[in-house]
């Protein structure tokens, strides 16, 4: 691993509040191509991403409220100018479902690192409604697809403000096989 990648991982954080700026589609396509290099047993590419901007976020808000048996629309999808739905495409193969979902999750995390490194604020949001029929329909999911959540993407607010990053004690999470 290069020092640059390790440094990027050490300073990565989730941005719960972002500004109204977002990467262009071309910028996003380039980062998706890089994120797609995640480890993938049998090279199934069991994932796809759905870009939600503008009115798409309002449609998602209506679907979320429908899933929650509420009227109107949730404002949650309006918290960022760009949402990227992370979808696991489960394929019949020797590779188990959980591993295919792990690949899709890996792509989402690699993409969040690429977005962060490019200067964008990102947070991965989920919710019980990710597996609801109303939200699946709004995303046009097929029977073999599972929504894993959304990357909320926007500009990083007030970059001049120092943000304390909590360091992880690697030794506390690394053990040996028991004897």
Residue 162 has pLDDT above 70, yes or no: no
Structure confidence by residue, pLDDT tens digits, 58-76: 999 999 999 999 999 999 9
Token output for 50? 């759905």
Per-residue pLDDT, averaged over 154-159, amounts to 86
Is-contact 158 4, C-beta < 8 A? no
% of residues, the chain, pLDDT over 70: 96
CB 107 within 8 A of CB 38: yes
Return the pLDDT at 158.
Answer: 79
Which domains does the chain possess?
Answer: 31-156 (3.40.109.10)
Q: Are 49 and 78 in contact (CB under 8 A)?
A: no
More confident residue, 150 or 41: 150
What is the reported pLDDT for 115?
A: 96
CA distances from 100 to 57, 103, 168 (A): 27, 5, 28
**Whole-number pLDDT of residue 163:** 66
Q: Does pLDDT of 165 surpass 90?
A: no
How is the beta sheet containing 145-155 ordered, strand by strand? 47-53, 82-89, 145-155, 120-125
Radius of gyration in angstroms for the set of CA atoms belonging to the chain, rounded to a whole number: 18
Q: pLDDT tens for residues 93-128?
A: 899 999 999 999 999 999 999 999 999 999 999 999
- How confident is the model at residue 177, as a pLDDT? 93
Tokens of 93: 């193969």
Say yes or no to pLDDT of 40 above 80: yes
Q: Are 83 and 150 in contact (CB under 8 A)?
A: yes
């Amino acid at each position: 691993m290069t020092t640059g990648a390790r440094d990027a991982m050490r300073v990565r954080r989730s941005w719960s509040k972002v500004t109204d700026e977002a990467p262009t589609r071309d910028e996003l396509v380039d980062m998706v191509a890089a994120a797609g290099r995640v480890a993938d047993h049998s090279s199934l590419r069991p994932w796809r991403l759905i870009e939600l901007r503008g009115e798409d976020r309002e449609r998602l808000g209506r679907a979320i409220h429908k899933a929650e048996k509420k009227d109107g629309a949730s404002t949650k999808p309006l918290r960022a100018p760009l949402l990227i739905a992370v979808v696991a495409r489960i394929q019949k193969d020797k590779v188990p479902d959980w591993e295919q979902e792990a690949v899709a999750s890996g792509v989402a995390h690699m993409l969040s690192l690429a977005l962060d490194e490019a200067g964008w604020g990102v947070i991965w949001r989920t919710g019980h409604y990710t597996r609801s029929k109303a939200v699946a329909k709004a995303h046009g999911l097929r029977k073999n697809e599972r929504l894993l959540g959304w990357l909320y993407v926007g500009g990083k607010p007030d970059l001049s403000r120092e943000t304390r990053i909590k360091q992880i004690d690697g030794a506390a999470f690394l053990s040996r096989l028991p004897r």
